[in-house]
């Protein structure tokens, strides 16, 4: 019987709410900055 290895993802994740129904997850600070420039009213969610 084979066992699956658990994937541990330690990269930072930022959740960004663009509008009332759209939430995206961004993995890098550079991408976060780009999305915030594109959508200045976006909110960062913990």
Q: pLDDT grade, residue 27 (50/70/90)?
A: very high
Q: Which of 41, 1, 8, 18 is nearest to 26 (CA)?
A: 18
Residue 7, in any domain of the structure: no
Check: CB of residue 38 under 8 Å from CB of residue 16: no
Range of 39's domain? Answer: 14-45
pTM for this structure? 0.70
Residue 1, in any domain of the structure: no
Residue 8, in any domain of the structure: no
Residue 3, in any domain of the structure: no
Residue 5, in any domain of the structure: no
Mean pLDDT value across residues 16-38: 95
Determine the pLDDT at residue 6: 84
Per DSSP, the residues of 4-38 read PPPP---S--EEEEEETTEEEEE-SHHHHHHHHHH
Round to whole Å and give the CA distance between 22 and 26: 13
> How many domains in the chain?
1
């Amino acid at each position: 019987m084979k066992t699956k290895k658990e994937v541990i993802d330690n990269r930072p994740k930022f959740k960004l709410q663009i509008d009332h129904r759209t939430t995206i997850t961004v993995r890098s600070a550079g991408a976060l900055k780009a999305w915030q420039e594109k959508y200045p009213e976006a909110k960062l969610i913990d």
